[in-house]
Amino acid sequence: MINKKRLLATFIDLVKIDSESRNEKEVAEYIKKKLKKLKIKFYVDNSHKKTRSNHGNIIATIISDPKLPTVVLSSHMDTVVPGKGIKPIVKRNYVTSGGDTILGSDDKSGLAIILEILEIFSSGKIRHLNVEAVITTCEEIGLLGAKYLDYKLIKSKEGIVLDSTSPERLVIKGPASDFFLIEVNGVEAHSGVNPELGLSSIKIASEIITKIKTGRINKNTTINIGKINGGSAINIIPGQTTMSCEIRGNNEKTISNQLGIIKKLLARTEKKYKKLDKRASIKFKKERIYDSINIKRDSMLVKRILKTCKDLKYKIDLVETGGGADANFFVKNGVNTVNLGTGMREFHTKNEKLILKEFYQSADIVFNCLLERVD
């Protein structure tokens, strides 16, 4: 049974440890020390060589019975900024920060729940599904820890990521994400001496921006131009402008069609400006960030979670999200993974809170759904 006092104390310990992305070593040492004390086997992978973090992912394993299924429990160690010197304040119904930093419930609430469950299971007195706890780095800067995890080392075929808001929401569906870069090349010239010899890349880019449909394209597809860089000085006609963009959606055909529309626009625009100067060019580059999630309602873990919530009289809905999480990379690599909320609210802001009732409820759901039972 979940020890609420211990669970909260672990969470407070964790958020007091600075662990902004790529600086997870100190919190990793805390986790490893706890695992060693509980005599739980773990190893650290070499993902740091690619993520450029100061620590790798931690994978801890507890085997109850080799004949039973093995499942992943996952959360991430890193936080967004400002995440240094967090001073958690425990109120009656929630935990918040002092107001100068985030709280770090994303995702140290999930991490605390996993450590609590590992501690209970480490006694060997409870029969449960086998657990692979995968604790990742660099989630907040592109899911890098999960991206570079060696999935050959993971035996589980299903998993739970604890990295969402309410435990009354079980995320079983989410979009794929493609990053695309538009590079516009004009011609530099002195803006005061001979501007007529130049061709402004910013002007060309602005024309493109006005013609790309952004925001919500349809119910399940979004496009965003998130970052623009251009020019080198106020007295130089800008020669290059880049636009960093993203498209998200759960229908590959729609994603392909929308990117096709954008490519045709770029081709037409390039042709137009090459007539003014042959040196003008527009380049397009695309990279898949992560694949979509679409977990079946009749999967083993979804059924277990639904039954657990019914038995415990907890409300829970199967939902779709527009965001990404480590679950996207688990799914891509053959581990069908859902995302359960932990009670975090207003995360990534200085007003962040962890709702204690929901925090304990999330832990209760995960613990009970992992208990070995005869359905």
Residues annotated as catalytic (active site), given as ranges: 78, 139
- Give the strand pairing for 70-76 and 130-136: parallel
- Give the strand pairing for 176-185 and 281-290: antiparallel
Q: Let me know: does 282 contact 274? Beta carbons within 8 Å.
A: no
CA angle 343, 346, 350 (to 5 degrees): 120
- Give the strand pairing for 58-62 and 317-320: unpaired
In which element (H, E) is residue 133 found? Answer: strand 130-136
| Residues in Cβ contact with 208 at an 8 Å cutoff, skipping those fewer than 6 apart | 182, 184, 243, 265, 266, 269, 282
**3-state SS of 259-327?**
HHHHHHHHHHHHHHHHCCCCCCEEEEEEEEEECCEECCCCCHHHHHHHHHHHHHCCCCEEEECCCCCHH
Angle between helix axes 4-15 and 356-370 (nearest 10 degrees) is 110
Tokens of 292: 């979509």
